[in-house]
Amino acid sequence: MKTRLRTALPTLALDRDSGIPIYRQLYEAYRQAILAGQLRKDAQLSSTRELAIELRISRHSVMNAFDQLLAEGYIRGDPGSGTFVQAGFLGDTDLHDKGKSRCQELPGDVLSREAIRIAKAPHMPASSPPIPFRRGLPAVDKFPLALWSRIVASCCRKMRSGDLNYTEPQGSVAFRRTIAEYLRNLRAVKCEPEQVFVVSGSQQGLQLIAHTLLNEGDPVCMEDPGYPGARSAFLGVGANVLTVPIDDEGMEVNKATQLPRMPKLIYVTPSHQFPLGVTMSLGRRLSLLDWAEQSPAWVVEDDYDSEFRFVSRPLSSLQGLSPDRVIYVGTFSKAMFPSLRLGYVVLPKNLVRAFSDSRRSNDFCAPFLTQAAMNEFIVEGHFARHLRRMRVLYAERQSAMLIALRREFGNYLQISNTDTGMDLVVWLPASISDTKASHLASRAGILTMPMSFFYSTPSKRGGLFLGFGAISQNQIREGVKKLRRAIHPLLSHG
Ligand X SMILES: Cc1ncc(COP(=O)(O)O)c(C=O)c1O
Residue 51 to residue 47: CA distance in whole angstroms: 6
C-alpha to C-alpha distance for 43 and 61, rounded to whole angstroms = 21
| CB nearer to ligand X: pick between 86 and 200 | 200
Going by C-alpha positions, the residue among 169, 244, 240 that lies closest to residue 208 is 169
Q: Binding marks (x or -) toward ligand X, 214..233, rule CB under 6 A?
A: -------------x-x----
Q: Is 348 helix (H, G, I), strand (E, B) or coil?
A: coil
Q: Smallest distance from the beta carbon of 3 to ligand X, in angstroms?
A: 41
Size of the chain, expressed as the number of residues it contains:
494
Q: Which contacts of 39-42 are long-range, i.e. CB under 8 A and separated by 24 or more positions?
A: 39/7, 39/9, 39/85, 40/3, 40/85, 40/87, 41/85, 41/86, 41/87, 41/88, 42/1, 42/2, 42/3, 42/84, 42/85
Taking phi first (over 0 means left), then psi (-120 to 50 degrees means alpha), and beta for anything else, what does residue 278 get?
A: beta
The residue (of 30 and 337) whose beta carbon lies closer to ligand X is: 337
Closest contact distance (angstroms) between CB of 328 and ligand X is 12
Site for ligand X in 315-354 (CB under 6 A): 331, 333, 338, 343
In the region spanning residues 146 to 205, those forming contacts with ligand X, defined by CB under 6 A, are 201-203
Taking the complex as a whole, the smallest distance from the CB of residue 374 to ligand X amounts, in Å, to: 13
What Rg, from alpha-carbon coordinates, does the chain have? 23
Q: Minimal distance in Å, beta carbon 275 to ligand X?
A: 8
Q: How far is the CB of 353 from ligand X (least distance, A)?
A: 24
d(CA 393, CA 410): 25
CB closer to ligand X, 227 vs 377 = 227
Q: Is 58 helix (H, G, I), strand (E, B) or coil?
A: coil
List, edge to edge, every strand of the sheet that includes 423-427: 414-416, 423-427, 463-467, 449-450
Contact with ligand X (CB under 6 A): which of 133, 197, 274, 355?
274
What is the DSSP secondary-structure string of 419-446?
SSSSEEEEEPPTTS-HHHHHHHHHHTT-
Closest distance between ligand X and the C-beta of residue 227, in Å?
A: 4
The DSSP element (H or E) to which 82 belongs, if any, is strand 82-85
Binding mask 244-273 for ligand X (x = CB under 6 A): -------------------------x----
The footprint of ligand X on residues 289-308 (CB under 6 A) is 302, 304
- Alpha helix locations (H) across 200-336? 202-213, 228-236, 253-256, 282-294
| Least distance from ligand X to the Cβ atom of residue 329, Å | 7
- Cβ closer to ligand X: 203 or 371? 203
Shortest Å, Cβ 226 to ligand X:
8
Closer CB to ligand X, 206 or 253, in the complex? 206
Q: Smaller CB distance to ligand X: residue 212 or 269?
A: 269
Kindly give the pairing relationship between strand 75-78 and strand 82-85: antiparallel
Nearer residue to ligand X within complex by CB, 136 or 462: 136
Nearer to ligand X, 208 or 321 (CB): 208
How many of the chain's residues bind ligand X (CB under 6 A)? 14
CB of 310 to ligand X, least distance (A): 18
Q: Which is nearer to ligand X, 202 or 371 (CB)?
A: 202
Coil, strand or helix: which one is 372?
helix
Asked if 128 interacts with ligand X (CB under 6 A), we say: no
- Count CB-CB contacts under 10 A for residue 261: 12
Q: How far is the CB of 93 from ligand X (least distance, A)?
A: 14
Q: Are strands 449-450 and 463-467 parallel, antiparallel or unpaired?
A: antiparallel
Binding interface with ligand X (CB under 6 A): 136, 201-203, 227, 229, 269, 274, 302, 304, 331, 333, 338, 343
